[in-house]
Amino acid sequence: MSEPRTALRICPLCEATCGLTLTIEGTKLTGARGDRDDIFSQGFICPKGASFAEVDGDPDRLTGPLVRKDGVLQEATWTEAFDLVAARIQPMVAEHGPNSVGVVLGNPNVHTMAGALYPPVLLSLLRTRSLFTASTVDQMPKHVSSGLLFGDPFAIPVPDLDRTDHLLLLGANPLDSNGSLCTAPDFPGKLKALRRRGGTLVVVDPRRTRTAKLADRHVPIRPGTDALLLAALAQVLFEEKLTDPGVLEEYVDGLVEVREIVRDFTPEAVAAACDIPADEIRLLARGLAAAPTAAVYGRVGSSTVEFGTLANWLVDVLNILTGNLDRPGGALFPLSATVPSPRPAGPGKGFALGRWKSRVSGHPEAKGELPLSALAEEIDTAGEGRVRAVIAIAANPVLSAPDGLRLDRALSEHLDFMVSVDPYLNETSRHADVVLPPPPPSQSAHFDFAFNGFAVHNQARYSPAAVPLEDGRMDESEIHARLILAVSGMHGADPASVDDLVIERALTKAVAEPHSPLHGGDPEQLAAVLTGSTGPERRLDMMLRLGPYDLVLADLLAHPHGVDLGPLKPRLAQVLKTRSGKVELLPEPIAADLPRLRRTLDERPAALVLVGRRHLRSNNSWLHNIPSLNGGSNRCTLQVHPDDAARLGLTDGGDARIAAEGGELKVPVEVTDAVRAGVVSLPHGWGHDREGVRMGVAAATPGVNVNQLLDGSRLDPLSGTAVLNGFPVEVTPIS
């Protein structure tokens, strides 16, 4: 028997990126606790992190590849699996063109090194425009807004939680989600600290969430109307001469135009639509303006809505009007260790939308992506350019995207070939012809390429694999590399050649850039000095060397609890990549969408609309298989306000039928005044009752798929993001 030992691992189960200390006996994980020495998370974890060993050791995880033979998925060798991928994808591309291969990237790609490092290579070699990701059921409105305002869709300012005096938080529930596009371990603690130091927390949410309970003021807004509220806040700032952009003025074009365009969104004009008294809106605006520093922050509930891009744009408009963008205590741009060293300030290439359109419904692309809502129709609608094959990586769109039944059928009946890179046989991967399972996270190294760019404190942490790869396992990076080779005509080549190719390209580009720390070097020599025992480590080493902090991989290895790179600093001039070199405060596509918002002022609101919710012990569609995280209050119930329950004849614990344009569901009712009247709430990620799914625990309490209520046609038009919150529903009792 070997002695128990410990190893460090950054938690991949949400965006907070907490440091975990794992206990290991032999090669078996026996527990996880918070790493008190972690320079960022300082010991904080949540129940999911505490269950890491159980998540890691779930017996339903696939242990090796599956290949469909005679219509049935069967165990196979890695060689058989990749041979089949190469044999099927290449001829399809040759015959039908690259767009016939759809690539679907799901949420966990931002939680793995492989997911950050390889999909860009896959896409550049495959050259398909059929790209669908979780962004269009999530944060695409923020990317579009940032692209238009700052010229860079990844220039996303984050609220300076540790220093702000006033936080106006819309459509986010970090006490349960632990935060999003704002990476902050112990977000709950940071909100409590804000209040302890005398600051103000305002939460705008149709539900009285755990976050709302912590707030000085909870504003139970009517779902879908955040853009109206935010426009009215801007209007009050102008009208009452409370705008104070300060030093930002020299960076911003369009202040006067914004003042004109919000002129008629007065508190009185929007009050009925938002169901917030006009006086209260004025108070909110004055409070925001009066705070020494303040940050406006909106997330999922103000993003996956009819006016998602407008709301996200207005969040930053308010940060700018109050002078809080790019200043400590306001909303700042993080600087991660693996982004290329910033170039000198000056005009950039700008950001374009709609460079191409989806085939069936003509949705404009955004950031090179088509709406996930349109995936099913792109597969099942006959014609030139149809998606005939799908490569799905860490994605379960049958549950996470609108109209899962249609997608389910499309994947099963209309696809010629499908590959899933997924640890589970679930609602989506069960349709694949080849399933390539990555190892459990304890066997993978970790670095947060994505989330360090949204972190409230600059830092870098790397955790090598805690446990060696089990026999028969393949590292997820190698799976991705082999997949890339198989689909791009290089099947069978050394997977390391993919990393070599990336390194060569990146270094050749960098040495030619005057501002690069490697300017003027020799790419071959520079490649030779890179250290690291794997391709991903060498690429991380290279990215650190190209980055802004004079770091190398050895620094991270020498500091396993992380390297502190300091608090966020003002850096707007570096960030701007618009053609004008300024913040373009009223971009044309935004101005063109505002009349659509204005029209809603004359419309009668729907009697009953649905919003989602997240539970602290869940993670989208794939953690319901973990016994200690499932059950208790983590259940798929329809929350209904007592007044609505009485009006509709619903009883707590009874069943109801809920219907909308995409279909209807039978759901258990939970009567609670945690939702406001006129609003019902059903969580997503449930509906684990399909045949062929190998997730035994989840199947025992399957729940229903809320996204079946949607038919895929409700989108925020600028970003192609699905409207998952604030759509009308009808609810009737079932006796």
Ligand X SMILES: Nc1nc2c(c(=O)[nH]1)N[C@H]1C(S)=C(S)[C@@H](COP(=O)(O)OP(=O)(O)OC[C@H]3O[C@@H](n4cnc5c(=O)[nH]c(N)nc54)[C@H](O)[C@@H]3O)O[C@H]1N2
Binding site for ligand X (CB under 6 A): 14-15, 106-108, 112, 134, 137-138, 170-174, 176-178, 180, 204-207, 209, 221, 223-224, 226, 299-302, 305, 393-397, 400, 421-424, 426, 438, 476, 611-616, 618-622, 684-685, 706-707, 724-726
Q: Which residue, 438 or 523, has its beta carbon nearer to ligand X?
A: 438
Q: Which residue, 44 or 549, has its beta carbon nearer to ligand X?
A: 44
Question: Does 17 help bind ligand SF4 (rule: CB under 6 A)?
Answer: yes
Q: Which residue, 43 or 521, has its beta carbon nearer to ligand SF4?
A: 43
CA distances from 265 to 207, 305, 442 (A): 25, 19, 52
Q: What are residue 179's phi and psi, to 5 degrees?
A: 95, 155
Pairing mode, strands 66-69 and 295-298: unpaired
Tokens matching residue 42: 């300082």
Q: Which residue, 488 or 619, has its beta carbon nearer to ligand X?
A: 619
Contact segment (CB under 6 A) with ligand SF4 among 11-19, 190-198, 252-260, 509-517 equals 11-19
Based on the number of CB atoms within 10 Å of its own CB, is 672 exposed (0-12), middle (13-18) or buried (19 or more)? middle
Residue 73 interface partner, choices Mo ion, ligand SF4, ligand X, none, CB cut-off 5-8 Å depending on type: none
Identify residues 28-67 at the interface with ligand SF4 (CB under 6 A).
45-46, 48-49
Q: Which residue, 18 or 723, has its beta carbon nearer to ligand SF4?
A: 18
Residue 11 interface partner, choices Mo ion, ligand SF4, ligand X, none, CB cut-off 5-8 Å depending on type: ligand SF4
CA distances from 424 to 224, 420, 623, 665 (A): 35, 10, 11, 25
| Residue least distant from Mo ion (Cβ) | 138
Question: Does 236 help bind ligand SF4 (rule: CB under 6 A)?
Answer: no
Q: Which residue, 207 or 363, has its beta carbon nearer to ligand X?
A: 207
CA distances from 98 to 196, 263, 322, 410, 490 (A): 56, 48, 47, 19, 16
Cα–Cα dist 124/109, whole Å: 17
Cα–Cα dist 394/375, whole Å: 16
SS3 237: helix
Residue 424 interface partner, choices ligand X, Mo ion, ligand SF4, none, CB cut-off 5-8 Å depending on type: ligand X
* In the block, residue with structure tokens 């099963």: 412
Q: How near is the Cβ of 34 to ligand SF4 at its closest, in Å?
A: 7
Question: Does 18 help bind ligand SF4 (rule: CB under 6 A)?
Answer: yes
Identify residues 129-148 at the interface with Mo ion (CB under 5 A).
138
Binding mask 153-182 for ligand SF4 (x = CB under 6 A): -------------------------x----
Is residue 411 a contact partner of residue 398, using CB atoms and an 8 Å limit? Answer: yes
Residue 307 interface partner, choices ligand X, Mo ion, ligand SF4, none, CB cut-off 5-8 Å depending on type: none
Going by C-alpha positions, the residue among 183, 67, 149 that lies closest to residue 437 is 67
Q: How near is the Cβ of 124 to ligand X at its closest, in Å?
A: 20
* CA 24 to centroid of chain Cα atoms: 31
Cα–Cα dist 681/550, whole Å: 48
Is residue 298 a contact partner of residue 171, using CB atoms and an 8 Å limit? Answer: yes
* In the block, residue with structure tokens 């004055």: 286
Helix (H) or strand (E) holding 219: strand 217-219
Question: Does 435 help bind ligand SF4 (rule: CB under 6 A)?
Answer: no
Residue 177 interface partner, choices ligand SF4, ligand X, Mo ion, none, CB cut-off 5-8 Å depending on type: ligand X
Cα–Cα dist 237/266, whole Å: 11
Is residue 456 a contact partner of residue 448, using CB atoms and an 8 Å limit? Answer: no
Q: How near is the Cβ of 2 to Mo ion at its closest, in Å?
A: 39
Q: What residues make contact with ligand SF4 under the rule CB under 6 A? A: 11, 13-14, 16-18, 45-46, 48-49, 178, 185
